[in-house]
Every structure is written in C-alpha cells, then in structure tokens.
C-alpha cells in the first residue's frame, strides 16, 4: 500500500530551457527516439532533475540530459523540472559501470589501444581498484576470461582526462551491446550478464566535480553518473502545449501551481516509501 502519511512535495518549476546546463553529453541513440515519443505523446512524462547554480543563475542537470536535449530539438522555450538540493539525503551520487557484449573483448581492446594519450596496462583486480579509487587511472576493464587492464591517461588535467573518457566510451558506444550495472562486485556482474565480453569500472565523482564539469563545459560521457533522488517525481505527464504557450514564465508557474493543487486535492499523487524494481523500463 502507498504511504501517504508523510507526503513530500517535489519542487516542480517551469524554467527557461536555455538555463539548463548539463554535466554530461547526451546519448544520440537514446535522445532521438525520445524526441519522437515526447512529440507523439504531447507531454513530458518525467521532468528532468536539476539543482540551482546560484553563481551562474542557471540550473545543473543531474538526471535527464537526453530529455533536455530532446526538448531543445522540439524548441520548447520553457521546461518543467524538479529542483533538488545537491546534497544528502536529497541526492546520492553513484556510478554506472558499463557492461559490453555481442562483440569480442579483443575488438574492444584493439580500439582502446588506438586512443592517443592513453595506455593499457595488464593488472590484477586489487591493484586496479586501488588505482581507480586514488584517481591514478581513468578506468579499468575486466574481460570474460578475468583478464584485467588499467586505462592510464598521459595527462592528469581534468579537461584532457574527460576528453579521453569520452574517447573510451566512443570506442564501444556503437559496437555490440551496452548495458549498465551499479555493482562493483565483478562476480555479481558476471552473474547478471553471463554472456558479457568485457566490463568497464568507471570513476566515482563528488558533487563538486560534477558542478565543475558543468561550469567549465568539460562534459563527461553519458551514462556514467547515477543520481539517486529521494522523492523523485515520476509520471507527471505535463502537457507540451502548456510549455509552448506564449505566456510569461511567471504566469506559467502560477498555472503549474494551480494544476498541482488540483492533483493533490483529488488524491492523484502517491508517495511510495519502499525500494522498487521496475521491469518495464
């Protein structure tokens, strides 16, 4: 049963689309179908999650870079967002690891070896984990035969490291099949994906670093950061026509408040406290 005894109120606002600053590149393969889906539905189902950047008078996109990119392509001047403080317990920052399959590990390794400014070094797992935790390497990968390699950048400067990380992800973004795993346990990843070819264990970031990437426009690849939001607003289903309306931002937010009030008063908003697995995403 849903718990409505302590119903939180998500901070939903309509803001200028141009004021939404990403920290990662969008995923073209995911974004283009999203454009068609939003256009066909005529609504924004799940608002992007953002946090204020007071020094820039803008908002950092924590989750929803593809939705923001899709809305820009649809030329929505204003966008509905959920605003959250970038701190615990409201937001917890984690990392997705990338699991590759349907192409041989040798194919991926050969592509990595061709990246300028990057070297691969065979390693054991404890050394690779420690080096990644210390920030000495960009990532490490483990093949299906348990062979492990550290990915070592020639430069320790943030822009160059981020460029190399994008180059790494680009080597496999359009080859084979890419899945994500939140587990750092290689045995668990093997159980989840028994036919995997190779898995990349990627950097763990701090919120201050994410803010820095956005402020400097030094973006990281899509699908690495995992922002776990407390009280995320889902299935809001806000009409695009209301975002397109030729009205001042203040009027649109007043209309949003009226719309939200009607949702709450008619018991259409539910808060579920339990952890959930969704099998239809």
pLDDT tens sequence across 2-35: 444 454 689 999 999 999 999 999 888 889 899 9
Instruction: Report the run of H or E that residue 187 belongs to, with start and end.
Output: helix 186-192
Distance CA 225, CA 182 (A): 10
Do 32 and 83 lie in a common domain? yes
Domain assignment of residue 135, yes or no? yes
Contact 93, 227 (CB under 8 A): yes
Contact 24, 224 (CB under 8 A): yes
Domain assignment of residue 165, yes or no? yes
β-sheet with 78-83: strand ranges across: 11-16, 78-83, 49-53, 58-63, 20-21
Distance CA 161, CA 169 (A): 12
Mean pLDDT of the chain: 92
Do 104 and 188 lie in a common domain? yes
Can you tell me which residue has the tokens 């989750």? 63
Nearest-5° Cα angle at 7, 5 to 10: 175
Give the mean model confidence (pLDDT) for residues 158-186: 93
Predicted local confidence at residue 56, as pLDDT: 84
Do 81 and 104 lie in a common domain? no
Do 102 and 191 lie in a common domain? yes
Provide the domain count of the chain: 2
Do 45 and 126 lie in a common domain? no
DSSP character at residue 216 = H
Domain assignment of residue 254, yes or no? yes
Do 23 and 87 lie in a common domain? yes
User: In CATH, what number is assigned to the domain containing residue 42?
Assistant: 3.90.1530.10
User: In CATH, what number is assigned to the domain containing residue 179?
Assistant: 3.30.1760.10
Do 86 and 122 lie in a common domain? no
Predicted local confidence at residue 179, as pLDDT: 94
Do 164 and 195 lie in a common domain? yes
Do 105 and 189 lie in a common domain? yes
Domain assignment of residue 34, yes or no? yes
Do 41 and 103 lie in a common domain? no
DSSP, collapsed to helix, strand or coil, labels residue 82 as strand
Predicted local confidence at residue 29, as pLDDT: 81
Domain assignment of residue 41, yes or no? yes
Contact 144, 196 (CB under 8 A): yes
Domain assignment of residue 169, yes or no? yes
Do 116 and 80 lie in a common domain? no
Residue 173 has pLDDT above 90, yes or no: no
Question: How does pLDDT run across 46-101, given as a tens digit for each residue?
Answer: 999 999 998 888 999 999 999 999 999 999 999 999 999 999 999 999 999 999 99
Domain assignment of residue 197, yes or no? yes
Structure tokens at 269: 């908003």
Predicted local confidence at residue 10, as pLDDT: 94
Give the mean model confidence (pLDDT) for residues 140-169: 95
Domain assignment of residue 276, yes or no? no
Contact 108, 172 (CB under 8 A): yes
- Calculate Rg over the CA atoms of the chain: 21
Residue 146 belongs to domain spanning: 97-201
Instruction: Report the run of H or E that residue 131 belongs to, with start and end.
Output: helix 125-133
């Amino acid at each position: 049963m849903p718990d409505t005894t302590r119903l939180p109120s998500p901070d939903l606002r309509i803001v200028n689309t141009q004021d939404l600053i990403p920290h990662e590149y969008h995923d073209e393969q995911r974004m283009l179908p999203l454009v068609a889906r939003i256009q066909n539905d005529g609504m924004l189902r799940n608002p992007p999650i953002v946090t204020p950047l007071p020094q820039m008078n803008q908002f950092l996109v924590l989750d929803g870079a593809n939705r923001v990119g899709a809305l820009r392509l649809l030329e929505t001047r204003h966008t509905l967002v959920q605003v959250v403080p970038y701190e615990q317990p409201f937001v917890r920052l984690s990392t997705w690891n990338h699991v590759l399959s349907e192409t041989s590990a040798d194919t991926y390794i050969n592509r990595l070896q061709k990246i300028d400014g990057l070297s691969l070094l065979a390693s054991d797992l404890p050394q690779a984990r420690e080096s990644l935790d210390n920030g000495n390497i960009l990532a490490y990968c483990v093949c299906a035969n348990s062979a492990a390699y550290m990915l070592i950048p020639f430069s320790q400067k943030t822009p160059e490291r981020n460029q190399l990380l994008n180059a790494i992800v680009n080597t496999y973004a359009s080859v084979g099949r890419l899945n994500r795993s939140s587990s750092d346990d290689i045995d668990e990843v093997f159980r989840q994906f028994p036919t995997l070819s190779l898995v990349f264990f990627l950097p763990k970031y701090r919120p201050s670093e994410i803010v820095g990437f956005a402020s400097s426009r030094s973006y990281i690849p899509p699908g690495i950061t995992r922002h776990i939001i407390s009280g995320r607003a889902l299935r809001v289903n806000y009409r695009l026509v209301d975002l397109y309306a030729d009205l001042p931002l203040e009027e649109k937010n007043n209309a949003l408040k009226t719309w939200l009030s009607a949702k709450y008063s008619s018991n259409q908003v539910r808060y579920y406290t339990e952890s959930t697995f969704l099998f239809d995403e």
